Amino acid sequence: MISFPTWKIVVVLLVCAFGVLYTLPNFVSKSSLEGLPEWLPTKQVNLGLDLQGGSHLLLQVDSEAVTLKMMDSLVDAVRDSLRQQGDNIGYRDLKHEDNVVSFTLRELADEEQARERLSVLSNIMPNGQRDTVISFGGDGVVTLTPSDQSMAARLSSAVDQSIEIVRRRIDETGVNEPSIQRQGTDRILVQLPGVDDPDRIKRLLGETAQMTFHLVDIAASSAPGDRVPPGSKRLPSIDEEGLSYVIKNRVMVSGENLEDAQATFQQGQPVVSIRFDGLGAKQFGRATTDNVGRPFAIVLDNEVVSAPRINEPILGGSAVISGGFNVQGAQDLALLLRAGALPAPLDILEERSVGPDLGADSIAAGKVAGIIGIIAVAVFMIASYGLFGVVANVALAMNMFLIMAVLSLLGATLTLPGIAGIVLTIGMAVDANVLIFERIREELRTGKTPFNAVESGFSRAFTTIIDANVTTGIAAVILFVMGSGPVKGFAVTLLIGIISSMFTAIMLSRMLITWWMLRKRPKTMEV
């Protein structure tokens, strides 16, 4: 005898209520949702770039720059280890080449002492190996070679740091719900819905924003010719073409000690006001106190922003950067300084921009496709199965509610391929009902009563339904794991649709048919 336990009825009704309740916010404007009580669901499905317009950027962290910075740091560490106050170890030809740092000891007798000092530069990694291999040759040549694992770890750390800084920079621009995620070993995928000025975003992401403060080498700057003395370097001006400055290599104050940066005005001109943390304020105060009357170069990404003269000590930890900015330039520079410097430059490998008009057309086309698909399926089911077809259509409608509810709850981003997945699900949603109804027809032809035919139809079609949906689900999982971007969007909606369609066909349809059978108790029945 056909039956449907009370606990199953409760589960089905709760799931259906969930579907309706979490889908409704998508039909209400965001401003209206803000006034609702907090206990009510207010999440909406996010629209992807191809539906609301925006920018898609695929960035790559410059791995060569990461490696170069790592080797420079290792050279500095070696120099510091060999030069200790009152007890220096003589060496020459300290350099790095082909990812190997090397130098030559002046006295072979210093080898044991050098070995002891350099040992702190070789640490044991979690895999039990040394991150840097140190070798001593018989002729006094010493080499330090970072392991492949340590270099890969440094690159991975640089990518993670870059993702965080990119997120901070984009958040400062006010972009709603940006998607920033790692892709591969050294790439970052950035999707910015609703962005109307992608060139500005590219400029912000393309700046490393490494700010340092140096003393200007006055003697070298005033000397004729292009000769640069040891310990100094020549950098171009960021504003005036052809103008360059010779500055000391020593960093007096680093941008890492910046605490805040804001765009403001001074004498009617846009400037950037900066404030240092405690350590930076002390360093800046000491540098300006010891060098009154000398020009102080402000360097951003190897270009001199300005080189003002220090008229008096600046002890408050605050300063102003002026460099012929416009308002937008001052705001962008302040944003970059607040977000922090990238560990390495970012290269734009791929760029796609979608206008809002094209997105609106895609939404309209998706709606039309969905409506036509639903109407065609509904008419076919009613024409083929009569009253049972009406039940299948009710299950189909609830299936759509459940898909939208899950997407809303997850805060998923709906793309055009995602709409394609939903349209495909519309056809697949009634597939299980077709299997059940055809099985019931076969049972009725063998002479079984309507109650026994319905019971056998649902129980015997169950295995076939599971097999069909599991195989499709496996394909959807593979698409999600192996694919990226739009392919993942299609896989997500397809997978959710498979699960919800199985629920509505096996549970909801059976509950509705059971209610009708128990109420009407038909002696004969046609499906």
Question: Closest Cα to residue 269, out of 308, 305, 323, 332?
Answer: 323
Express each pLDDT in 367-391 by its tens digit. Answer: 787 788 888 888 988 998 888 999 9
d(C-alpha 405, C-alpha 41), whole Å: 10
The answer to whether the beta carbons of residues 208 and 344 sit under 8 Å apart is: yes
Q: Extract the tokens encoding 363.
A: 């939404």
| pLDDT-wise least confident of 53-57, 245-249, 289-293, 516-520 | 53-57
- Residue 285, pLDDT score: 86
Amino acid present at 456:
S
At residue 17, the pLDDT reads: 92
**Range 6-53+356-520: architecture per CATH:** Up-down Bundle (1.20)
What is the model's pLDDT at position 357?
63
Q: Residue 2, SS3?
A: coil
Under DSSP, is residue 321 helix (H, G, I), strand (E, B) or coil? Answer: strand
Tell me: pLDDT of 272 over 80: yes
- Classify domain 63-151 by CATH number: 3.90.1070
Of 193, 183, 307, 322, nearest to 246 (Cα)? 307
- Integer Cα distance of 191 and 68 in angstroms: 29
User: At 276, is the secondary structure helix, strand, or coil?
Assistant: strand
Under 8 Å between Cβ of 439 and 433: no
| Per-residue pLDDT at 358 exceeds 70 | no
Give residues with Cβ within 8 angstroms of 44, minimum separation 6: 25, 26, 30, 33, 408
Most confident of 13-17, 108-112, 178-182, 227-231: 13-17
For the ranges 61-65, 190-194, 410-414, 522-526, the maximum mean pLDDT occurs at 61-65
Q: What is the mean pLDDT of residues 85-105?
A: 85
β-strands 413-414, 46-47 pairing: parallel
Residue 521, classified by CB atoms within 10 Å of its CB into exposed (0-12), middle (13-18) or buried (19+), is exposed
Average pLDDT, the chain: 82
Cβ distance 214 to 297 under 8 Å?
Answer: yes
The mean per-residue pLDDT over the stretch 455-464 comes to 86
Residue 14, pLDDT score? 93
Residue carrying structure tokens 């962005």: 195
Give me 378's structure tokens.
């509904």
Q: Where are the domains of the chain?
A: 6-53+356-520, 63-151, 207-350
Q: What whole-number percentage of the chain has pLDDT above 90?
A: 6
Cα-Cα-Cα-Cα dihedral of 88, 214, 336, 261, to 10°?
A: 110
Tell me what the mean pLDDT of segment 102-112 comes to.
88
pLDDT average, residue stretch 480-502: 82
- pLDDT band of residue 18 (cuts 50, 70, 90) is very high
Looking at this protein, which amino acid is placed at residue 137?
A: G
What's the confidence (pLDDT) of residue 474? Answer: 92
Does the pLDDT at position 26 exceed 80?
A: yes
Average pLDDT over residues 460-472: 86
- Could you write out the three-class secondary structure of 98-129? CCEEEEEECCHHHHHHHHHHHHHHCCECCCCC
Q: What is the predicted pLDDT for the residue at 51?
A: 72
Query: Is residue 405 classed exposed, middle or buried when 0-12, 13-18 and 19+ CB atoms within 10 A define those classes?
Result: buried
In the prediction, which pLDDT does 45 show? 81
Instruction: Identify the pLDDT of residue 225.
Output: 61
pLDDT above 70: percentage of residues in the chain: 94
| Joined tokens for residue 71 | 């080797």
Task: List residues bridging with 354 in a β-sheet.
Answer: 54
Q: In sequence order, what are the residues at sequence separation of 6 or more whose Cβ sits closer than 8 angstroms to the Cβ of residue 499? A: 473
Fold assignment, 207-350: Gyrase A; domain 2 (3.30.1360)
At residue 526 the predicted structure's pLDDT band, cuts being 50, 70 and 90, is confident
Provide the b/e sequence for 229-250 (b: ≥16 CB within 10 Å): eeebbebebbeeeeeebbbbee
Which tokens in the block code for residue 38?
Answer: 């907090």
Residue 194, CA atoms < 13 Å, CB-side half-sphere:
10
Looking at the predicted structure, is the pLDDT value of residue 240 above 70? yes
pLDDT at 33 over 80: no
- How sure is the predictor about 84, in pLDDT bands with cuts at 50, 70 and 90? confident
Average pLDDT on 15-44 reads 81
Higher model confidence: residue 206 or residue 60? 60
- What pLDDT score does 11 carry? 92
The answer to whether 462 and 386 are in contact (CB under 8 A) is no
Q: How confident is the model at residue 16 (pLDDT cuts 50, 70, 90)?
A: very high
Tell me, what's the pLDDT at 109? Answer: 85
pLDDT of the residue at 13: 92
What phi and psi, each to the nearest 5 degrees, are found at residue 94? -75, 120
pLDDT band, residue 116 (cuts 50/70/90): confident
What confidence score (pLDDT) does residue 86 get?
Answer: 65
Residue 15 pLDDT level (bands cut at 50, 70, 90): very high
